[in-house]
Amino acid sequence: MMGKSYEERLALRPAPSAPASRHDNQHYKHDDLDFENMGEIEELPREGTETVVYPALIDPLVQDLSPNSRYYLYHFATQICEDLVVHDGPNQNPIRDLLPATAAYPALLHIILANSAFHVFNISRDPLTQSPYQQTQRRYLVAQYQAMSRYGGPMKSSYADALLAKQQALSFLAQSVLSVNETNIDLVLVVILLFINYDLIESGRDKWKVHMNGARQLIELLGTPPYLQQPMSRLRLSVLADFLVFFVLGSTFTFSVMRTSIPDPVDLDSVLRYAETNNYLSCPSPLLRIMLDSFKLEDTRQWLSDHIDIEVQDRVGVLLKAALKFDPVEWSLTFQPASPSENLEHRMHIAAAHRAAVCIYLTRGFPYSNPLLDPSSGSALISLTGLANEIISHISYLKPGDTLFKSISWPLFLAGAECEDPAGRDWIMNSLDELYNQMYWGYLHTAKKGLETIWRCKDKKAAGVDNCWIYDLKDLGHEILIA
């Protein structure tokens, strides 16, 4: 078999083709880690009698890894990497480009293995409850993954593998933080970012914030010599953009103070532009900046409804007007796409959904009788149910498999929190199920449970009674990240 390509070797075997990635025609090849020219082939049975071949990497960089670890590294490269960016093309995914560095940085290796192992666990485990929103599809998926898990290997031990890899990653990270310098700080931040991704794959509850606060202390160093980069590398732009988006969106559902995570000397405009183009949530930079500006205000959620200072209301009104002034169509026409295959119409729809969600975000602590919201006041700027319907309308243009479908969760959650229509609620839950069946990230289950709690509280209260769902969410006792 020496000298033969992977395709030539595979043609000599009667077994079926290798497991399909969601990028069937894309090869994953790096300078030091080659996923295109595989060595030995192992077989993993799936769905009863059908067999699937997957690669056991024999590249010198991974030859000392166990078979399960090799599989998890392959799974990360072919499945998870594409969920971390909008477009997973050549030179567009800094996390993928770091895969060869796993040989030299054990913290990076083990947190990648932890992400991948828990993702495999999500795919293979039996759901605790059957979704009432997609019963037919869920029954099919349960049968499929039950069949896969019966054959052992990574499917059987993935949960234990994830916990072990995470614990090892934490140990190595502690050592790395103690020896951080200008040459490795970006890599240490990548490891912390992947801890947040791990928490999103697991549940999106609470633990992500510990990592966010730890990252903030390191990010503050980036504004001082010798850590300051001008201009910033693509890796640093990517890391800061992801942290910024997680910080902004995470502040929606947290109830303790979070400080902004980008130091003043760092070029914030560059980070925001990179985020709107490459971060998988695709939030336009003008809207991200409006949300950052809102952090300068006092948190109205901590106030009694009838004691919100008029100055705070006025400043929120200014931000609301700025968000409403944002034109998604005009923005999409001047947007610089990261890929020639970019669908600008989809960008426009997700931008419009984010605009409506930002307006909900800005007023989440106000009572419905507030002049900014009450139609009878004569000065209302928005209708919360109208914004929810607007989000649903725009997201309905995106379908599973579309590049930007992965961007829907945050605006869709905010739409669900304000939705009063049973049909609209079912559509939202169905869409979250479809997104989970594409990504298998556990925070989507947390989002669904949060919405169900909000709806139960809404339905118990009499019509017309002031009801701010943010307090109902707080009563759950979790600070969640919907991303």
pLDDT higher than 80, residue 241: yes
480 within some domain: no
203 within domain boundaries? yes
Computed over every residue of the chain, the mean pLDDT equals 79
Domain-located, residue 373 = yes
Total domains in the fold of the chain: 2
The enclosing H or E element of 41 equals strand 41-45
Of 137, 160, 179, the last residue of a domain is 179
Same domain, yes or no: 246 and 294: yes
Average pLDDT value for residue range 390-412: 95
In a domain, 482, yes or no: no
* Together in a domain, 210 and 161: no
Same domain, 240 and 101: no
Instruction: Identify whether residues 151 and 299 lie together within a single domain.
Output: no
Does position 20 have pLDDT exceeding 50, yes or no? no
Q: Is the pLDDT of residue 311 over 70?
A: yes
Mean pLDDT check: name the lowest of 19-23, 155-159, 459-463.
19-23
Q: What is the pTM of this model?
A: 0.83
- Residue 398: what pLDDT? 96
Which residue among 155, 179, 203 closes a domain? 179
Whether 479 is in a domain gets the answer no
Domain limits for position 297:
187-474
Report how far residue 269's alpha carbon sits from residue 252's, in angstroms, rounded to the nearest whole number.
22
- For 202-215, what is each residue's pLDDT tens digit? 988 878 888 888 89
Q: Is 481 part of a structural domain of the chain?
A: no
**Are 262 and 380 members of one domain?**
yes
Compare 304 and 483 and report the one with higher pLDDT. Answer: 483
> Cβ neighbours of residue 242 under 8 Å, at least 6 residues apart?
84, 193, 275, 279
275 lies in the same domain as 170: no
User: Does the pLDDT value for residue 145 go beyond 80?
Assistant: no
Asked which of 348-352, 399-403, 463-467 is least confident by mean pLDDT, the reply is: 463-467
Q: Same structural domain for residues 214 and 102? A: no
Find where tokens 């004569």 sit. 378
Residues 6+ apart with CB under 8 A from 229: 222, 236
* 455-458 contact pairs (CB < 8 A, 24+): 455/416, 455/425, 458/420
- The yes-or-no verdict on residue 92 having pLDDT over 80 is yes
Same domain (yes/no): 234, 257: yes
DSSP one-letter string for 248-317:
HHHGGG--S-----S-TTS-HHHHHHHHHHHBTT---HHHHHHHHHHTTS--GGGS-GGG--HHHHHHHH
Per the domain annotation, does 483 fall within a domain? no
Domain match, 137 and 204 both: no
Rounded-to-integer distance, Cα 418 and Cα 357, Å = 10
**Residues 175, 194 within the same domain:** no
Could you tell me if 323 and 198 lie in one domain?
yes
Same domain, 400 and 342: yes
Q: Does residue 194 belong to any structural domain of this protein? A: yes
Predicted confidence at residue 29, as pLDDT, reads 44
424-483: pLDDT as tens digits? 999 999 999 999 988 999 999 999 999 998 898 888 776 555 556 777 776 666 677 887
**Is the pLDDT confidence value at 45 over 50?**
no
Domain finish residue from 151, 179, 207:
179
